[in-house]
């Protein structure tokens, strides 16, 4: 939100689960991009911690190979050398005190070598079941104590699997850490267009006055993927689309779209307004779950002329699985701004396009002015905020088609990040890692936000578990989901805004 350039604090990043896919594909490329853009200080180091035994030389060699693979032929050799000098590894059992004493010894050496104050941030790229254990073991050897520098812990999603487990995890961590030390990450908020929602809404006076129930008919939020569960069948079959996407990614988009203007862009000011929206979402009764939610599971189908297998045939998935790969909800926000304006949200795998966007659908203009013309249907205005794959914003409106009679056509005004600002190489993690290094928690979830999100979806999970689906699979791979999803909007005389690749 500021034009002032800021360098990250001198610090050391400690990655638990350093040999995993997230570190290879996202974290190191993100750090590389930050360093290339000169956001990282020279007083910086990285320590990988994993269960696998290997030397720092072996880890550096892996890091260089991965960066070369993911950055490509334009990788900067000098920058690779810079990372090589600053990257170390220590391995061992995460439950063993020895692993952490070795880590502390290594950190002291790096502090001295690179003249780094004792500022440490820990990235837990581990299963959630290890969050509490790793934090507790770090505390046992005073690695959580901030008397000589700051200590921050980043926790990957999923943060809990239901309301009770999220509460338990919050209690467990808050016994050891202050809330200001806890950074619950949602990589979706690292995307430029998601961050741009606040600027678009509150930095442009033409939009904020009409961003309410007086002008907006409804809001749609879609997060669709072409991919199936790939190699994550074991995890996904125990989670499902609702748990995996809605309490985190989608509710973040809902709150940024619906929140009131914060008093500042300071972290708690923004998150206070987001939390208010989550608390204002109308709770689901068992009856509501039956009529305002839809679940689906993909079957066989074709995408880009390639045959795709059904979810139940995926590796590590129960052949009789009742896990949903699609979820759609109708949300009602009980506050003054959004009274009577439904928010329709959906997410799914193996859908027709990789497509994430927020659609603000405005109310129809009065028809009376055009009753003597040949126009049969007025174009309704909408704003589409495209999150991926092509980040940008589209304004849809009606205009007269040239000619002697009044005919109306639909036109779009497009803003595309790539066209206006050029290609921005990003993994989506750069901003989030940088914010942690500078102590800005705006884009990270607070404990109350996490619990409020789970409180909304818990009644849905309960009903879906009590009444197993009988019609799975109920949508083809390559489609826009089950027919019940279309009916969810059609019963309100509305329809989904679909797109094509």
Q: Are 157 and 186 in contact (CB under 8 A)?
A: yes
Q: Are 361 and 216 in contact (CB under 8 A)?
A: yes
From the list 88, 187, 249, 355, the catalytic residue is 249
What is the DSSP track for 152-212? EEEEPSP--SSHHHHHHHHHHHHTTS-GGGEEE--GGGGSHHHHHHHHHHHS-TTTGGGSS
Q: Can you tell me the distance from the alpha carbon of 423 to that of 445, in angstroms, rounded to the nearest whole number? A: 29
What is the DSSP track for 447-486? HHHHHHHHHHHHHHHHHHHHS--SS-S-EEETBSS-HHHH
- SS3 letters across 4-39: CCCCCCCEEEEEECCCCHHHHHHHHHHHHHHHHCCC
What is the DSSP track for 381-403? PEEEEEEESS-EEEEEEEEEESS
Per DSSP (E only), the strands in 289-381 are 293-296, 298-303, 306-308, 326-332, 342-348, 355-362
Contacts (Cβ under 8 Å, ≥6 apart) of 497 = 220, 222, 357, 359, 361, 382, 384
From the list 222, 182, 216, the residue with the least C-alpha distance to 439 is 182
Q: Are 229 and 238 in contact (CB under 8 A)?
A: no
Angle ∠(389,394,396) on CA atoms, nearest 5: 140
Q: Are 292 and 488 in contact (CB under 8 A)?
A: yes
Q: Can you tell me the distance from the alpha carbon of 347 to that of 350, in angstroms, rounded to the nearest whole number? A: 10
Contacts (Cβ under 8 Å, ≥6 apart) of 252 = 186, 188, 189, 194, 274, 445
Contacts (Cβ under 8 Å, ≥6 apart) of 370 = 378, 406, 408
Q: Which helix (H) or strand (E) holds 422?
A: none
Residue 397 has a CB neighbour count (10 Å cut-off) of 14
Q: Is 355 marked active-site?
A: no
Q: Are 252 and 277 in contact (CB under 8 A)?
A: no
Give me the active site residues, please. Answer: 249
């Amino acid at each position: 939100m500021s034009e002032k350039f800021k360098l990250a604090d001198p610090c050391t990043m400690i990655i638990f689960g350093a040999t995993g896919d997230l570190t290879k594909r996202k974290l190191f490329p993100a750090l590389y991009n930050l360093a290339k853009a000169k956001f990282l200080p020279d007083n910086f180091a990285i320590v990988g911690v994993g269960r696998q035994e290997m030397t720092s030389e072996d880890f550096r060699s892996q890091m260089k190979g991965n960066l070369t693979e993911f950055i490509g032929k334009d990788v900067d050799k000098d920058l690779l050398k810079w990372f090589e000098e600053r990257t170390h590894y220590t391995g061992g059992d995460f439950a063993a005190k020895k692993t952490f004493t070795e880590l502390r010894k290594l950190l002291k050496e790096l502090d001295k070598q690179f003249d780094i104050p004792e500022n440490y941030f820990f990235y837990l790229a581990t299963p959630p079941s290890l969050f509490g254990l790793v934090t507790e073991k770090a505390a046992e050897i005073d690695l959580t104590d901030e008397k000589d520098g700051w200590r921050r812990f980043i926790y990957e999603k999923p943060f809990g699997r239901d309301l009770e487990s999220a509460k338990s995890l919050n209690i467990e961590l808050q016994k050891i850490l202050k809330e200001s030390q806890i950074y619950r990450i949602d990589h979706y908020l690292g995307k430029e267009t998601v961050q741009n929602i606040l600027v678009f809404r509150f930095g442009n006076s033409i939009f904020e006055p009409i961003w309410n129930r007086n002008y907006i008919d409804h809001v749609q939020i879609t997060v669709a993927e072409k991919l199936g569960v790939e190699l994550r069948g074991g995890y996904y079959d125990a989670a499902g689309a609702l748990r995996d996407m809605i309490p985190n990614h989608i509710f973040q988009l809902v709150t940024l779209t619906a929140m009131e203007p914060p008093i500042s862009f300071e972290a708690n000011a923004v998150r206070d307004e987001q939390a208010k929206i989550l608390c204002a979402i109308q709770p689901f009764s068992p009856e509501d779950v039956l009529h305002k939610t839809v679940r689906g599971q993909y079957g066989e189908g074709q995408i880009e002329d390639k045959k795709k297998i059904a979810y139940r045939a995926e590796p590590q998935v129960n052949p009789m699985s009742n896990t949903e790969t699609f979820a759609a909800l109708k949300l009602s926000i009980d506050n003054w701004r959004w009274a009577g304006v439904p928010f329709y949200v959906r997410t799914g795998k193996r859908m027709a396009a990789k497509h994430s966007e927020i659609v603000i659908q405005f109310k129809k203009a009065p028809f009376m002015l055009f009753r003597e013309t040949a126009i049969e249907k007025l174009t309704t205005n909408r704003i589409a905020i495209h999150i991926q794959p092509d980040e940008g914003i589209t304004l849809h409106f009606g205009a007269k088609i040239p000619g002697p009679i009044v005919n109306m056509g639909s036109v779009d005004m497009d803003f595309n990040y790539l066209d206006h600002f050029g290609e921005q190489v990003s993994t989506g993690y750069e901003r989030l890692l940088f914010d942690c290094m500078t102590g800005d928690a705006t884009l990270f979830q607070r404990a109350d936000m996490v619990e409020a999100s789970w409180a909304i979806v818990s009644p849905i999970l309960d009903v879906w578990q009590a009444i197993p689906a009988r019609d799975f699979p109920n949508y083809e791979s390559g489609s826009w989901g089950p027919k019940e999803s279309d009916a969810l909007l059609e019963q309100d005389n509305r329809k989904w805004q679909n797109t094509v690749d």
